[in-house]
Structures are given as C-alpha cells and as structure tokens.
Chains A and B, each alone.
Chain A
Amino acid sequence: MLTYILRRVLQAIPVFLGTTFLIYFMVFAMPGDPIAGLFGDKTPNPAVADALRAQYNLDQPFLMQYVLYMKDFVTGNLGVTFSGQSVNDVLARAFPVTLKLVLMAVVLEFILSVVTGLIAGLRKGKLFDNASLIFALVFSSVPVFVAMFLAQYFIGIKLGWAPVTVGVDTSWGAMFLPALVIALTVYVTGMRLMRGSVIESRQADYVRTAYAKGLTHRRIVPVHIARNSLIPVITNTAASFGALIAGTTVTESIFNIPGIGKVLFDAITKSEVPTVVSFVTILTVIYVIVNILVDLLYAVLDPRIRYV
C-alpha cells in the first residue's frame, strides 16, 4: 500500500511541472509583447508595465523565467494584484469560502448520484428509472449560469426561500442553494455510473452466491451491491471536480460569494491576466491533489489495487 502511495505521488510530480509549465507557456510564449498581452485589450500603463517586467523576469531566457516563476510560486510568493493586494492575502480570505461551497456541492452531488442511481438501478426499466434519467439530463443541459439565474430569480426573489446574494454572510445555510444548483448540473454522470454498477452487481456471481448462502435482500443490497458500486462513482467525483470548478466561478459571481471563483471572475473581466494565471495555476494544483487523493481512496475501497 505504501509503495502504491509513493508511486502515485511520484507520478504526480512531472504532471505538476508539466501543467504549470503549460499554463505559463500559454501566457508568456505567445507571439507579441507579453506585457501588452498581460493587459488584455487595454493599453499598458508604463510604470506598471515596467514593474511587471521586473516581476516576471522578462529579461531572462524563457526557461529561466519559468524556473524563477515556479520558485516564487512554490515558496509562496505569489505577487500582487493590479489593485495592489497581495495574492496570498486574497487567497487566504477567499479560499475557505470556496472550500465550503465546493465541499457542499461535492457532498450533495454524491448523495444525489448514489441515491438516485441506486434506486434507478434496482428498478431498472420502471418509471423511476426513466424519469430520473430525463430529469438529470435536463439539468445537465442547462448552462450553469442560466440555472443560477433561474434559481436566484424563482427561489430567491419570487419565493424568497433563500438569500439572493451571499455577500458577507458566508454561512453554510446561505450557500446551500448555489451549492445545490451546482450539484444538480453535474450529478448525471455519477448517477449513470451508479446505476450501471448496480445493474451489473445485481447480476454478479457473488451476489447470487450471497443469496445461496442464505443472506437476505436487506443485507445484500447495502453490503454487496451498493458497496461494490460505489467505487466508480467515487472516482468520478474527482473528474467532476473540474466541472465543479467552472461552476464555482460562475456561481460566485452571480450570487456574490467572496470566494476564489469571484476573484477569478473579477480578474477576468478586468483583464488582469497575471492574477488570472496565478489563480488558474492554484486551482489546477488543487485539482491534481484531489485526483491523487481520490486514487488513494480508490485503493482503500478496492483491495485489489493496493497490491498492484
């Protein structure tokens, strides 16, 4: 098991380097004056431009630039935003907020996937199965921002059941609605996976043998069917994390939640490319770490993997 963990972490290092390099490359290796590019389509302020040139070591050869950039990144020196705030500070404030939102969304997505998938799989072909599929598909086709609008409009304004904006009150309750909407737009994949696994498990030989042993339906469903079906669903949660990230960006802007997504959104609309790059890098690193954690979780759930 330990070797598996070690191997997995080691594998992640070239990926980490490659990803950060790629992001850096996309921004700074494009043709033209990189500094002008950093300003998006606005004209560069000469003083800021010079400061940025120094900050990004643009007088050095490209690879050297990347190395220095990474050095700064890894040591926690993430630079400043255009408005002069330290990126570290912004991060420290915004991260916990987004973390709450994402955690709620992940948990809700998981519950939705597992519960609907389990029932749909056990009652394959019946009404619940078909209805729940259509329901989930419709949700996944609506773009996140549209769904957010509708939720905000109908549930927030018209029905008044939930706060329309979050603002300073970043409590769990206040963020429940946006988290739920995010979860609804992505849960269809997990549900299909769970359903498929359940259908397969029901036909599995070991389930039939479990019945032959004299076990009851009530024991077999959770212990043998659901337990085995969870594995692909959990790994899918990591993949859906990427979609969740896109969701939080939009969500935080619509609901005015002061998280990383909002900062990113602001930076995008103000064309503050360096800040965009910093935050995208951070989010990507988080994504890589989440993937590793999920792989480890997979090994916990499926003993066969541990000994490979």
Chain B
Amino acid sequence: MSDPNTEHFVAPIDDAVVEVDALKLDQKKSNLWLDAWRDLRRRPLFYAALAMVTLVTVMALWPTLFTEVAPNSDCQLANSNGAAAAGHPMGFTFQGCDVYARVVWGARTSLAVGILVVAITAVIGIPMGAIAGFFGGKVDSILSRIGDIFFSIPYFLAAVVVMSVLASMRSVWTIALAIGGFAWASLARILRAEVLQVKNSDYVMASEAVGRSRMSTLLRHVLPNSLTPVIVTLTISLGAAIVAEATLSFLGIGLGDTIMSWGNDISKAQTSIRTSPMALVWPSLALTLTVLAFIVLGELIRDALDPKARARR
C-alpha cells in the first residue's frame, strides 16, 4: 500500500537553530542536599516540627527558664491531686508535686535517653552496616550473622531483660545501652542495603582506578552517598527511643523513682486516673507531641531526600 502523499516535507529553515548540548545553568546551585533543604523550607509542617523540637531542647537544657518551682522538693501532700491553681497551671500529682514543673524537668531525661540511644545506635550500626555491605565476602557473612542475632531479639524485649537484671543500676545510661545495644541491628541492615546499591556506581570504580584504597573509597564516596536512610532512621529512632523508655518506666523497669521522667509520671498517675486525670494527661501530651515532632521530622526529611519524589515534583 503506498502513500500517494510521498512529498518531501521540510520545516521552515529560517527559524531553525540546532543547538547541540547547550549548557543551561540555573541561578542557584543544585545537588541532593541543597535541593532537599529548599524543599523542606517550603513546608509549614517542617517549621512546626522544628519548633517543637527546639522547644523541648531548650526545656531540657535550661528548665529554669520555664519554671522556678523545684519539681521534687516543693511537693506537699496537702496539695495532693489538686486542680490547677495560680502559679501551677497543670495542677498537682498524687504526691502533691507540681505537674507543670515535672513536665518541664522531665524533658531533659527523655531527650537525654533519645540522644544517647541514637548515638549508640549510630556508633555501632553505621560501621557494621557499611563494612559488611562494602567489603562483602566473609566479612559480610560474619557481620551480618551477628547483626541477625541482635536483630532477632526485639529491642523492647531485650531491654526488658537487661533492665530486670540490672535492677540496682537503673539510670539513663543503662537504659540507653539496653535499647541502643539492640536497636543498632536494624540500622545496620538498612545501611548495608543502601551501601550494596551505591557501591555498584561507576564513580566508586573511578575512585579505585584513581588509586584510592578501598577504605578510603568507602569513607569518601560510598558513605556520604548512603546517608539518606540513615538520617531518616535515626531521626525516627529518637522518637521511638523516648517511647520505649516511657513504656519501660510504665512497666516499672525503666528509670528509677528518683529520676524524673515523663514515663514515670504517667505510670504513677494511672492509679489516680479517675480522680485527677490531668496528672496523666499533661505528661502524656508532652511525650506524644515530642515523639510526634521527631517522627514527622524524619518523614519530611525522607520525602525531601527521595530522588524519585524529586524527579516527579
């Protein structure tokens, strides 16, 4: 079947400009981190979460900025379960302590636990995951096996065992070690998977061809490009660690009575939930909002750094 229209069509040549591979540079520089930062700045939710995190941090560092009431020593049984009064906006606990002051001072503990857990998780998890993923072979087998073993014990259960055994030594450090000492396995797995992908990139080969040692290539080229899931996971872990500490305190194997924490307060307040629910509600709210702030932050960062999401935007 032939097309009777076998004419030779040519578009107007005058306005034809054939540009091959012209360089078009935007005003602003662009790479993964810069673009992600710009994306975050555009979202109101980011500012909300950031504000909350900042508030809690400031509260933790300088509690006296927020209250002059000493949370432990000013307790008077006469005030037991009292409602809100002047100078005590959140009422009193069963023992007559100022709820507001305890909430303010409790921030320090929760944040400390969160940060310590994240630090431990990172210090163990990152090297384990990176080395296992990058060097492969026997090293990977051994490290992954170890990781599997730790991964198979849900960190909550492990913390339960450790805190039960260490009954006499409960402190922020031991709790952080109990949780972080097992939570690292999850991070190591995630990082290992990312490193496995990144190490196949040509720029890794180029780095070795230039003469860098394998370790140097890992540190200079592979790790920086594998950080995305690490940052997201660590941010979310901070929130999760705070919840874990609260749950352990609730079960009675968290921080001891002497240490002020939101978890302890919630635990103690549950017996008087019907008479003064606010002693339960305020620390719960503080806890939930803090954790929410970190988790939301983590999710936003994940979205901002996701190359696929960026391509579609």
Q: Which residues of A contact B (CB under 8 A)?
A: 14-15, 18-19, 22-23, 26-27, 30, 37, 40-41, 133, 137-138, 140-146, 149, 153, 192, 200, 203, 241-243, 245-246, 249-250, 253, 264-265, 268-269, 271, 273, 276-277, 280, 283-284, 287-288, 291
A306 to chain B, nearest CB (A): 21
Beta-carbon contact of A271 and B250 below 8 Å: no
Give chain A's interface secondary structure class. Answer: helix
The residue on B at minimum CB distance from A253 is: B251
- Are A137 and B156 within 8 A (Cβ)? no
Flag whether B74 is at the interface (Cβ < 8 A).
Answer: no
| Closest-CB distance, A7 to chain B (whole angstroms) | 13
Distance between Cα atoms of A279 and B239 in the complex (Å) = 27
Q: What residues on A are CB-neighbors of B239 within 8 Å? A: 141
Name the A residues within 8 Å of B296 (CB-CB): 137
Cα distance, A291 to B168, chains bound together (Å): 35
Q: Which residues of B contact A19 (CB under 8 A)?
A: 149, 152-153
B155 in contact (CB, < 8 A): yes
A243 touching B166 by the CB < 8 A rule? no
Taking a contact as CB atoms under 8 Å apart, the answer to whether A200 and B247 are in contact is: no
Please measure, in the bound complex, the distance between the C-alpha atom of A245 and the C-alpha atom of B280, giving whole angstroms.
24
Beta-carbon contacts under 8 Å, B62-91 to A: none
Q: Is the CB of B288 within 8 A of A143?
A: yes
Chain B: minimal CB distance from A156 (Å) = 12
Residues of B within 8 A of A (CB): 145-146, 148-150, 152-158, 160-162, 164-168, 239, 243-244, 246-247, 250-253, 263, 266, 270, 273, 277, 280, 284, 287-289, 291-292, 295-296, 299, 308, 312
A137 and B295 form a contact (CB under 8 A): yes
The chain B residue with its CB closest to the CB of A39 is B167
Beyond A137-B295, A142-B288, whether A15 also contacts B157 by CB under 8 A is: no
Name the residue of chain A whose CB is nearest to the CB of B242.
A143
In the complex, which residues of chain A have a beta carbon less than 8 angstroms from the beta carbon of B270?
A: 149
Does A242 lie within 8 Å of B251, measured CB to CB?
A: no
Q: Is the pair A287, B246 in contact by a Cβ cutoff of 8 Å? A: no
| A137 and B294 alpha carbons, distance in the complex (Å) | 10
* Interfacial chain A residues near B253, Cβ < 8 Å: 268
**Given A143-B287, A250-B250: A37 touches B165 (CB 8 Å cut-off):** yes
26 contacts between A and B (CB under 8 A): A15-B152, A19-B153, A26-B161, A26-B162, A41-B167, A137-B296, A140-B295, A141-B288, A141-B291, A143-B243, A143-B287, A153-B273, A245-B157, A249-B156, A264-B160, A265-B251, A268-B160, A268-B253, A269-B251, A273-B164, A273-B165, A276-B161, A276-B164, A284-B154, A287-B152, A287-B153
A22–B182 CA distance with the chains assembled, in angstroms: 11
Q: Shortest CB–CB separation between residue B263 and chain A, in angstroms?
A: 8
Task: Give the residues in chain B near A30, CB-CB below 8 Å.
Answer: 165-166
Q: Which of A41, A137, A144 contacts B292 (CB 8 A)?
A: A137
Give the Cβ gap from A136 to chain B, nearest Cβ, in Å: 10
Check if A138 sits within 8 Å of B160, measured CB to CB. no
Contacts A18-B149, A145-B250, A246-B154 given; does A271 touch B284 at CB 8 Å: no
Asked if A280 meets B161 with Cβ closer than 8 Å, knowing A137-B296, A142-B288, A287-B152, the reply is yes
Residues in A with CB closer than 8 Å to B152 are: 15, 19, 284, 287-288, 291
- Contacts A30-B165, A146-B266 given; does A269 touch B252 at CB 8 Å: yes
Taking CB atoms, residues of chain A closer than 8 Å to B164 are 40, 268, 271, 273, 276
| Given known A-B contacts A40-B164, A277-B161, A246 and B308 have beta carbons under 8 A apart | no
